Amino acid sequence: MSAADLPVIAILGDVNHGKSSVVATLAEDDSVGIGAFPTTTCCQRFRVRDLFEFVDTPGFQNAREALRELEEADTHREPLAVFRKFVERHRDDRFFVNECRLLEPVLAGSALLYVVDVSQPLEPRHEAEVKILRLTGSPRIALLNQTGEPRHRGVWEARLRQNFSTVIDFDAHRADFTNRLALLEALATVDLAGKARLRTAIAVLQRDRDEKLDTTARVMIDALADVLTLKQTEALRDPLRVATQRREIEERFREKLSGRETAAHREIVRTFAHRRVVVGDSATPDFLRDGLFVEKTWSVLGLSGWRLVAAGAGGGALVGAKIDLLFGGATWGLGALVGGTVGGGGALAGSHSPPKLTVRVPLFSRALVGAELTAGPVAHDNFPWIVLDRALGVFVSVSRRAHARQDEETLDATALAARLQATRADKDQAWEAVCKALAKTFREMRKGRFDDERRETAVRVLRDWLRVISV
Amino acid sequence: MRRSTNWTLADVLDFEALVAADERADDPQAAARRDAGLWREKIAPDLTPGEDGERAVVFHRWLAARRAGEPLPGTWLTGGWRAFAAGAVFAGLVLGFAVAGGALYYAGARPVNVAVFLAMIVGVQWLFLAWTLVVTLARGLRSAAGRLLVRLGERLGQWLAGAGEHLTGEQRLRLRAETVALRQLAGRNLQLLRWPPWLALQGFGLAWNLGALAALLLRVFFTDVAFGWESTWAESPLGMHTAVRLVAMPWTWFAPDACPTLAQVGHSWFHYQSGVAALDPTATASWWRWLAGVILGYGLLPRALLWLWFWTRLRAALGRVSFDEPRHKAAWQRLMGPVIQGERAHRDNLPSSGTASFAAAPRRAEPGCVLIAAPLGGVRAEIERWVETQFGWQIACVETAEIDFPSGNEAAFARFAAALTGAPRWLIAVPAPFTAFTAFAQFVERLRALGPAVPPAGFFLVVALDADGRATAPAPGWAGYWRDFTQAEMPDCATFSLTP
Ligand SMILES: Nc1nc2c(ncn2[C@@H]2O[C@H](COP(=O)(O)OP(=O)(O)OP(=O)(O)O)[C@@H](O)[C@H]2O)c(=O)[nH]1
Ligand SMILES: [Mg+2]
């Protein structure tokens, strides 16, 4: 299919009303030029596979004057011919640079998406813009965007309804995936010629979205499997200075854990193609302030004690993990010393206090030459839930974030918790079942029974849950 | 429908190795360009319409295109495996033959004890089988075995790296990279890599039984062997015969000869007191068919079944190979390009919106004319006051104008031009934010076209409105934008910001 046959949708409107923002959100592309001053000067095309194209255009800057010349289209037999003549006449006219450029896709027969900012007043030049678009006779819908208080919404809506078959709300900074699809659906109903393509494109985008959820689920599950079994083992340097080395190992173990976690978070952010979202820098030991092992994290995230018990993740798991460590380590450790980590008490008492990592050196093997110290794995019941919640927080932040947003966002423990709580996901009925399934997964991970088939099952459970909380 | 059945183990490993190498590549852009090129030239042209969304098919073509001449780990690994499996088969044959040959040693003093012979040839195998079952079922042992495999692979890689001391630096680097890739592969495709060792083991078992069978037949056909049984505990041959019949059940219905009769069992019961001479030669010889049957039915057959089972498992695992992992999706995206492909944005030079610094207003008591942009009509009085106090002007005329509609101000322009003849100084109050800049440029041009009454140099005053509609200072960004714009359009004019 050649480029000429592709249905095109042109995004038009006054300067600064958010055309590029709408485009950035639609295309999930945070590199689109957006600014508080006139920014877009040339058309920028975005192609959705080989299905259709949308075009970001420069804003109108001389609409009222242009309308004077275009008005004759009202009675002309072929309205677009008037527009074509206008563009030819003013090709090198510096007073109509933007108009000529933005009319180009219109002349090629595109459908029109008129973006207005209802927090700005409706002025005469907007009336002119609306009229120009009506004169084209092209299929068109209007989007109500808002960059601030929607004070002029009523006025705008009334005027737009007179001139556009469809007027829909689309907040470029808040629109999520369903809003985007709804917009394309609306376009499909208006632009009858491109309808089939748009429907296919919707299916393609949906599949793409599912892929992203699947990727995220896989990244999360792999990270969980990783951190739940992570250990730090080092040769005992000096039996007389065990305490010092113990502290060092503990430190290195924590660093390793947060490093793995941060890498997973980055991967999730990358999956959703956000470059203005920053997750903790693993180079700095920020986990002390903000990471996995601070009271703040543990007090707001993870499962509550009774939830842990309900999910079957309490008590037994803790004891099991401990026994694994104490005996499993001794039998498999090939002369290694046993590293044990003891969580903060039982499921109910200690589910919300961070684990105290301790590196233990059993008496009987202290004298062994070439002995090793081991820190980890973390046996605390709530540990996987904390890790999961933090990852879910990252996911919620990026999967709902519109690509039009220009602010830099740093995801710290508080932000993650707030984001997660805002979804009220734990009130969802499905959450209980998810908890049960994942509790089983975590047990399998800890016991080294986590194989490919179980991984697929866990990925499926988590992916479905991600779909629930992503919109 | 997934068409991954044509993927071999070597394919999967090679594919994963290539994907892993791309993941670690220093220049992801180069990889993306290469893959987009491969898609265009080598892959897309050969695909049938339904196939372009099939990762299994597309990736297989991609692998074929990238493989060309390059030895990849999967290829040499499976080559190695094959050699190893062949070695196992050979070793099984030789060992089975040797052990059975040894066990069938007969010098005429004491017949070959069938129980001992079977224990050595078949019993040992069953012991191993039982042990394997324990390992497979015990979770700890299983994961330990998995880790052991990974460790072994790593060691092999290290050993190879060590063996390659004479290699050039580049080759060694490459080898190291390959080792890393291999390690990742082991981590990712453990399920798949689990079966070849089992297959090799069953190959060994099969060959062992064949070797033993060959030794038995050769001994029986070409040498004199007497088989017998011994027991201190048995009181009559009846028990032994029952056991022998039971064992032979699977084949007696079609080969009744392959089991000694009660009389033959009785006549091959060996006692040291009476010696070999007391045994019946036909009875001692009659055992061999039964022995061959035991090796076939209890050694060879289970091995063959196991081999078949592991082989189908490997097939099934290959059939299940999916391409849904994040790394596969990344490779897929390199081939297909992103779902939404944006053009690289082109930017014209735009006025900057930096903070504006303005010269102090020239205070001179002179007459001047003021044009106010229509949206600022409501703060006309404030603007007049500001111009009077800051510029010291006596205002001769104030007109509101549609600054975004150049040709829509005929009457106002006429009055303005008339006033300018007596008060030859002009100032235009413009709003911020504002967006119709080309319209404004045309507006100013129209104004100047009014004739000699309009002096070339004039002033602009940028005014913002607060939420209640009162005049305030514009945001620094907007003031700066206006200043840059007016400077570019009308270099001999000066721009000021309203300061309340
Ligand atoms: N809060 C908020 N701000 C928005 C929204 N949409 C756009 N903006 C802001 O409005 C300003 C203009 O946005 P752009 O998308 O660049 O507007 P445009 O219509 O493309 O402008 P030009 O390219 O100059 O014609 C930017 O500062 C955006 O951040 C929105 O939905 N909410
Ligand atoms: Mg723009």
- Domain map of chain B by residue range? 74-317, 352-497
Pick the CATH number of B352-497 from 1.20.144, 3.40.50, 3.40.720, 3.30.429: 3.40.50
Residue of A nearest to B139 (CA): A449
Distance from CA of A361 to the nearest CA of B (A): 23
- B178 contacts B17 by C-beta, under 8 angstroms: yes
Mean pLDDT of B116-133: 90
Q: Does B452 sit behind a cis peptide bond, omega within 30 degrees of 0 on the bond before it?
A: no
Q: What is the pLDDT confidence band of residue B462, given thresholds at 50, 70 and 90?
A: very high
Domain closes at, from A135, A161, A193:
A193
Considering just the CA atoms, what is the radius of gyration of chain B in Å? 48
Q: Which residues of A touch B439 (CB under 8 A)?
A: 61-65, 95, 125
The predicted pLDDT at position A331 comes to 26
Q: Which residues of B touch A39 (CB under 8 A)?
A: 350
Q: Is residue A202 part of a domain?
A: no
- Cβ B435–A96 below 8 Å, yes or no? no
Question: Do A255 and A373 share a domain, yes or no?
Answer: yes
Residue A159 CA to chain centroid, in angstroms? 35
Question: Do A221 and A302 share a domain, yes or no?
Answer: yes
| Amino acid, single-letter form, for residue A101 | R
The rounded distance, in Å, linking the Cα atoms of A127 and A156 is 10
Q: What is the pLDDT confidence band of residue A338, given thresholds at 50, 70 and 90?
A: very low
Q: Is residue A206 part of a domain?
A: no
- Cβ A29–B340 below 8 Å, yes or no? yes
Distance from CA of A161 to the nearest CA of B (A): 24
Among A33, A48, A64, whose Cβ lies nearest the Cβ of B340?
A48
- Cβ A451–B191 below 8 Å, yes or no? yes
Domain closes at, from A193, A226, A245:
A193
Distance from CA of B220 to the nearest CA of A (A): 49
- Please tell me the pTM assigned to this model: 0.81
Question: Do A315 and A413 share a domain, yes or no?
Answer: yes
ipTM above 0.90, yes or no: no
Q: Is residue A199 part of a domain?
A: no
Chain B 127-156, CB below 8 Å of chain A: which residues? 139-140, 143-144
Mean pLDDT of A218-225: 95
Q: Which residue owns the Cα nearest ligand 1 atom 4?
A: A147
**Ligand 1 atom with minimal separation from the A171 CA:** 31
Helices assigned H by DSSP within B189-300: 190-193, 195-222, 238-252, 262-267, 281-285, 287-294
Q: What is the pLDDT confidence band of residue A281, given thresholds at 50, 70 and 90?
A: low
Res. B165: pLDDT tops 70: no
The predicted pLDDT at position B299 comes to 94
What torsion, rounded to 10 degrees, do the Cα atoms A197, A199, A204, A207 define? -170
pLDDT digits (tens, 9 = 90+) for A192-207: 788 888 899 999 999 9
- Among A435-449, B102-116, B168-182, B220-234, the least confident range: B168-182
Q: Which residues of B touch A451 (CB under 8 A)?
A: 190-191
Q: Is A42 helix (H, G, I), strand (E, B) or coil?
A: coil
DSSP string, B287-311: HHHHHHHHIIIIIIHHHHHHHHHHH
Helical pair B55-67 and B9-24, crossing angle rounded to 10 deg: 80
Residues lining ion ligand 2 (Cβ < 5 A) are A 19-20, 39-40
Helical pair B301-320 and B9-24, crossing angle rounded to 10 deg: 40
pLDDT digits (tens, 9 = 90+) for B244-260: 999 999 999 998 889 99
Question: Do A225 and A166 share a domain, yes or no?
Answer: no
The predicted pLDDT at position A441 comes to 94
Distance from CA of B307 to the nearest CA of A (A): 23
Candidates B191, B405, B482, B490: best to mutate against A (most CBs of A within 10 A) is B405
The rounded distance, in Å, linking the Cα atoms of A361 and A359 is 7
Range of the domain at A266: 212-469
For residue A267, the CA-to-ligand 1 centroid distance in Å is 28
Pocket of ligand 1 (CB under 6 A): A 13, 15-21, 34-36, 38-40, 58-59, 145-147, 171-173, 404, 406
Domain closes at, from A193, A226, A244:
A193
Residue of B nearest to A220 (CA): B326
- B318 contacts B192 by C-beta, under 8 angstroms: yes
- Cβ A41–B346 below 8 Å, yes or no? yes
Element (H, E) at A442: helix A430-446
pLDDT digits (tens, 9 = 90+) for A354-405: 555 555 554 444 444 456 677 778 877 778 888 888 899 899 989 989 999 9
The total domain count for chain A is 2
At residue A308's C-alpha, the angle toward residues A303 and A310, to 5°, is: 125
- Among A20-34, A97-111, A223-237, B182-196, the least confident range: B182-196
- Among A124-128, B5-9, B44-48, the least confident range: B5-9
- A124 contacts B402 by C-beta, under 8 angstroms: yes
Q: Which residues of A touch B350 (CB under 8 A)?
A: 37-39, 41
Of the ligands numbered here, which is closest to the C-alpha atom of A115? 1
Q: Is residue A254 part of a domain?
A: yes
Q: Which residue has the higher pLDDT, B451 or B397?
A: B397
Q: Is residue A201 part of a domain?
A: no
Question: Do A59 and A106 share a domain, yes or no?
Answer: yes
Pocket test for ligand 1, best of A16, A42, A170 (most atoms within 8 A of CB): A16
